[in-house]
Amino acid sequence: MRVRVEQTELPGIGVRHDLVTSSGRTLGVVSHRSGRRDLVLYDVDDPDASLACIPLTDDEAEALADVLGASLMLSQLAGLRQQAAGLLTEQVSLNAGSPFVGRSLGDTRTRTLTGASIVAVLRDAQVIASPGPEFVFAANDVVVVVGTRTGVDGATAILASGEPRG
């Protein structure tokens, strides 16, 4: 189901984007011409009255977008896993001792050696979707791997030790 987002020009202020949730609550973001953004929760009984208005800095707005994007991506991957028999999605934490910290995704050769794919990397509050072979890993990255049980196990072994399992 698509969610409708309404855009309203606010003369002299900026733009307001509103969406109505499935529970009937209205949320909005007011983007001021100054660059300021406010997250707004509107009153159920009076859609023009706000119950809460939370100003967001650029960093806070970016972090909120990343958190929502990451949870959506992982939810979609979980749904894909349920639809495709034998296809698994797993998150692998890359600790500081991994031989691939500071090295590129291409160096892992996970897809070639295991058939599993690295589809995303979660770094701090950021989601790096579909990282290319030149992507460089950092300590504490969480690597999202999709593949068969054997492929995911092999990718996990490679990321942990540098050697394929089996």
Q: In this structure, how many other beta carbons lie within 10 angstroms of the beta carbon of residue 118?
A: 23
What pTM value is reported for the model?
Answer: 0.51
Q: Report d(CA 144, CA 38) in Å as an integer.
A: 32
- Name the CATH superfamily, with its identifier, for domain 74-161: Regulator of K+ conductance, C-terminal domain (3.30.70.1450)
Q: Report d(CA 27, CA 29) in Å as an integer.
A: 7
pLDDT for 97-155, tens place per residue? 888 999 999 999 999 999 999 999 999 888 999 999 999 999 999 999 988 889 999 99
Decide: 114 and 166 in contact? Cβ < 8 Å.
no
pLDDT for 51-90, tens place per residue? 999 999 888 888 887 777 665 666 666 665 555 667 788 8
pLDDT(166) > 50: no
Question: Domain residue spans in the chain?
Answer: 5-56, 74-161
Q: DSSP for 101-151?
A: TTSBHHHH-HHHHHS-EEEEEEETTEEEES--TT-B--TT-EEEEEE-HHH
Q: In this structure, how many other beta carbons lie within 10 angstroms of the beta carbon of residue 109?
A: 12
